[in-house]
Amino acid sequence: MRRSGWKRMTVGALAVSAVSLALAGCAGGGQTGESSLDGERVEQTEGLGEEKIGGGENQGKDQLARILEKGEIVVAMEGTWSPWTYHDESDALVGYDVEVAGLIGEKLGVKVTFVEGEWDGLFAGLDAGRYDLVVNGVEVTPEREEKYDFTDPYAFIRTAIVVDGENEEIRSFEDLKGKRTANTISSTYAELAEGYGAVVTGVDDLNQTFELLLSGRIDATLNAELTYYDYMKAHPDRNLKIAALTEEASLVVIPVRKGEDSRSLREAVNQAIGEMRESGELGRLSEKYFGSDISRDPKSVE
């Protein structure tokens, strides 16, 4: 597992060092609420860390310093991709990414404000500075590497080709050539399908993708292997199957804006991810939402 390469300390201590702020102890339960931001759905979660950054003069004024000064980090996600980020029966925003982002907020000692939107809008908001992080099962691609800096991976997943249970024409990624697929435009899955010659239909969310597949309007869809298992667990009567899987696991990361302004934020988030992995928190969340530990590279597990 790639390490950040600097002396270990708590995330709270790192944040203090980065912006020369004093620590102030805090305790108590979290509070949630909803507000609005640019017409998007917003849910707020209060930081619950044992240590919380207090007031004081903020001389750095980089992104992390501004977050700490405001006491809030804005995290964007779709809210429609189970089990990563979705709404439960009570309409509460839940999922693996929701809890991971919440823990990052805890360790920084700030309130987490979740903003939900469509896939492309998440990155547009990050580019414009409306969001601090996009936590939505984002995978590393060469195109994204050119535009964003990434945290260390916090999950590792393989991509599956999902087809109708009776489909025998698609058995490999090469068989996608000329076939109809559906995914959110500019997603890793859409790009991969196009790379193999598929004709990709753009959709808004996962449910729409499976509706198109079940109705025969597309031949296949690409998605995370674990997302397929989660869908089938909720819909055991659906006649779908995995036709093929990638050999290598994709790296799931948190993108931040490129440049020095976001460097200390990325380092602080890396430290939080490292602490969550070492404490077993990431593994427990993986088991809770996926039924297996996706927080470690399968190649590193003996």
Calculate what percentage of the chain has a pLDDT beyond 90. 64
Q: 44, 131, 154: which is closest to 92 by C-alpha?
A: 44
Highest mean predicted confidence (pLDDT) among 68-77, 139-148, 181-190, 202-211: 68-77
Mean of the per-residue pLDDT values of the chain:
83
Residue 295 pLDDT class (50, 70, 90 cuts) = very high
Residue 101 pLDDT class (50, 70, 90 cuts) = very high
Q: 156, 108, 137: which is closest to 275 by C-alpha?
A: 108
- Within 8 A by CB and 6+ apart from 120, the residues are 184, 185, 186
Q: How far apart are CA 64 and CA 19, in angstroms?
A: 8
Return the higher-pLDDT residue of 4 and 87: 87
Give pLDDT tens digits for 23-53.
333 333 333 333 334 446 666 655 433 333 3
Three-state DSSP at 47 gives: coil
Model pLDDT, residue 301:
53
Model pLDDT, residue 43:
64
Give pLDDT tens digits for 123-148.
999 999 999 999 999 999 899 999 99
Q: 167, 255, 175, 249: which is closest to 216 by C-alpha?
A: 167
Helix, strand, coil percent values for the chain (each to nearest 5)? 35, 25, 40
Alpha helices in 129-246 (DSSP H): 142-147, 188-195, 206-214, 225-234
Q: How far apart are CA 73 and CA 176, in angstroms?
A: 41
Report the pLDDT averaged over residues 240-267: 95
For residue 72, the one-letter residue type is E
* 111 neighbors 231 (Cβ within 8 angstroms): no
Report the pLDDT averaged over residues 227-246: 91
Phi, psi of 233 (to 5 degrees): -65, -40
Q: Indicate if the pLDDT at residue 227 is higher than 60.
A: yes
